[in-house]
Chain A
Amino acid sequence: MHKLWAVIRREFGARVRTKSFVVTTALGPLLMAGLMLAPALMSMKESSGRHIVIVDGGDRGLGQTAQTTLRTKFPEQYTLEVVVLPTGETERLESLISQIDTPSEGTSATIDGVVVLDPAMLADDRIAYYGSNVSSMSDMSDLRRGLREALMAERLTELGVNLTLVQEASRPLSLTTERVTDGKLTGESGEASFVLGYAMAFLLYMALLLYGVQVMSAVVEEKTNRLNEVLVSSLSPFELLFGKIIGVGSAALVQLGLWVGTAMVLTTFRAEIASVFGVPEAAVMAVPIPTVSPELLIVSLLFFTLGFLLYSSAYAAVGAMCNTMQETQQASLPVTLMVIVGFFTVFNVLGDPTGSMARTFSLIPMFAPLIVPVRYSLNPLGLGELVASALITLLGAIVVAWIAGRIYRVGILAHGKRPKIKELINWVRAG
């Protein structure tokens, strides 16, 4: 135990003392704060207002209707101006277009775009728009919606329909979603659960890959620096392997713990943080942020630990087979692919957390570490299923760790060509 402890402490120290560990640990919370504030900051920028000129070529006051509709729908985004311009006065239209995006004397502000309501084109159900912001999806969709509504009102009036009646009948509907867990209301929107499930999957996926590869590089490092014989004369290969896995795993947990901790602080005090950056509180509160239950944390921690045991020992075995980091890139592909397959299955699971695919993949040791926490975040599994999944994953992790340990034992002292599958089997079987 004393020896194992010495190895764990060395590995942990070797990870935590690196610059990259300090930098990534610090960058995580910054990124989170950014993700939280950015949408709010961006919506603030957009409300600066675009100057749009509506050129009405007809005589039915369609320009006025369009202006009113757009103004009611988007009170802050647009500054609207109507110019009545009979068809054929192309010169004035051209001069208007030439003013787009160019500050000119006489006019108070730059024009961002020109909407042309030409009767001939309207007969064809077409409206032209010239602007500097045509690539803005949201602007174009706003315009399209506003203009269509104005046109619809115009046509309905023409047909003699009472507009007030129509407006009354077509009042918009909003569907509010709330997640129900075990028959209890959670007070959480559907959007927030999706965010949580996705965030969990991404974090676990990154952590398994990142720290698994760290174990692998630690193994290769000892090989390239010719340390193994020195170590193996005092330590059993199993002490060496598990010391490494536990050491790197603890560093991983420290980093993840710091991230989760800061995420919790950030979300709790997001209103205060927002006010520091001058972001309106309401805008930040509108970003859906899920709540994390203690049960979910425990399940995630358990499955991350099992997954880490499984993947890091597989990565360690790959490291033991190779002599350089370059060699590992190719040799580790099968292991990395497993993690990636698990990650992509998550998207299916997010759509149908209790479906047959979700259930099946929860019972496969390679994928359960990613799938089960995501499922749990969406819709907690029954205790029976959870225990079954945990046991199968544990069993799988032990089998993989055992095989990896035997490959590791031989591999760390072998130099030269990478072993073929047949030789690997001999390594595993060797007494």
Chain B
Amino acid sequence: MSQSVISVDRVTKRFSGHTAVKELSLDVPQGAVFGLLGPNGAGKTTTIRMIMDIIRPDEGRVTLFGGAGTGRDLSARIGFLPEERGLYPKMQVLGQLAFLAEIKGLSHKDAMRSGGEWLERLGLGEWAEKKIEDLSKGMQQKVQFIGTLMHDPDLVILDEPFSGLDPVNTKVMKDVVVDFARRGKTVVFSTHIMEQAERMCDHIVIIARGEKVVDGQLADIKSNYGKSHLALEFVSNREQAAPILQDPKLFLSVDDYGVSAEGEMAPGVDGDTVLRALVNAGVGLSRFEVVEPSLQKIFIAEVGDSAGTAAREPGDA
């Protein structure tokens, strides 16, 4: 395995009475697209803040790029988009970007040039001289995103990068992140939206109640769950399927989405048996596929429903 860009070694962080992160260890390999997943309040933001040295762990250690420097020391090599993010409303767009790059070590000239190029790239070229407060929310998010990436960092850490974005902006930013990863840079992002993580990450860690529950390559994790999952989509007589899906002899668990369903088959049951039962019952199918479990399914299986009510992290807005 290549060198770890981030190495978190048994870190614990307590906030007045409750433990936000408990003996958490994780390694982010060079060049990975790494997903830090977990329900709200699981400790994702606290973990990221400790990685960035914004707060100090009570126990344990964080190592970046294999050396002794903290997130702030190495800010020239790191692009960080915190969960709590904002801009100076009265500043001009380009001036704001230049400032964000200068505090990461770029010269004023390079910062202005890079800011201008990025604005053009994301279609905001005409807005360079406008004040931030005159921009729409979507544009402000793009500016924020540029501010994170414009100094061409080796490591990008994004805390809930896509929250509150419309599909068009989500795609724009996803493309930028994918491009970064393709150029051999390391991307870490946290999310509680599993579909996104599933499409983008090659490596994931799931944490719940401050503790790690899953860690590894996404492909490995899925294959460990085995090909015992069925993905179904219905076209007609949907209600006839219900008794079959609820039959404990056939399924261990089912996620029913109405027009589609995903289920884990009971041991010893094969796809044919289920298909025959569905066809005999007169259910019209547009999809019947034996698949690896979705990340969503794994997440719910590992985290359970109780985690959703975990205590909020301080600073979670």
Count of interface residues, chain B, beta-carbon cutoff 8 Å: 33
Q: Are B72 and A235 in contact (CB under 8 A)?
A: yes
Contact, CB under 8 Å: B88 / A6? no
A3-B315 contact in complex given A14-B90, A230-B86, C-beta closer than 8 Å: no
How many angstroms between the C-alpha atoms of A10 and B87 in the bound complex? 13
Contact of A234 among B86, B104, B314 (CB under 8 A): B104
B103 and A6 form a contact (CB under 8 A): yes
Residues of A within 8 A of B99 (CB): 6, 10
Chain B contacts of A13 at CB under 8 A?
A: 95
Interchain nearest-CB distance for A323 vs B (Å) = 12
A-side interface residues, number (CB < 8 Å)? 26
A431: chain B residues at CB < 8 Å are 56
* Residue among A13, A221, A226 facing the most chain B CB atoms (10 A cut-off): A226
Q: Does B38 interact with chain A (Cβ within 8 Å)?
A: no
Interface SS of B by simple majority: loop
Q: A234 with B315: in contact, given A225-B88, A229-B54 (CB under 8 Å)? A: no
Residue contact B72 to A227, C-beta cutoff 8 Å: no
Q: Contact flags (1/0) for A325-362 with B, using CB distance below 8 Å? A: 00000000000000000000000000000000000000
Q: Is the CB of A14 within 8 A of B105?
A: no
Q: Which residues of A contact B87 (CB under 8 A)?
A: 225, 227
Known: A2-B102, A14-B91. A225 touches B72 (CB 8 A): no
In whole Å, how far is B100's beta carbon from the nearest beta carbon of chain A?
7
B-side contacts of A7, CB under 8 Å: 103
- B146 to chain A: closest CB distance in Å? 12
B88 touches A234 (CB 8 A): no
Are A225 and B82 in touch, CB under 8 angstroms? no
Closest to B53 in A: A233
* A415, chain B: closest CB distance, angstroms: 7
- Shortest CB distance A430–B (Å): 9
Whether B86 and A227, one on each chain, are in contact in the complex, defined by CB atoms closer than 8 angstroms, is yes
> Nearest B residue to A218 by beta-carbon distance?
B88
* A230:B100 contact, CB within 8 angstroms: yes
| 0 or 1 for each of B194-212: is its CB under 8 Å from A? (1 = yes) | 0000000000000000000
* Beyond A235-B72, A413-B55, 20 extra complex contacts between A and B, CB < 8 Å: A2-B105, A3-B102, A3-B103, A7-B103, A10-B99, A14-B91, A18-B90, A222-B88, A225-B86, A225-B89, A226-B84, A226-B86, A228-B84, A230-B80, A230-B147, A233-B82, A234-B75, A236-B72, A413-B315, A415-B315
| A and B contact pairs by CB, cutoff 8 A, 14 listed | A2-B105, A10-B99, A18-B90, A225-B86, A225-B87, A226-B86, A229-B83, A230-B80, A230-B82, A231-B103, A232-B72, A234-B80, A415-B317, A431-B56
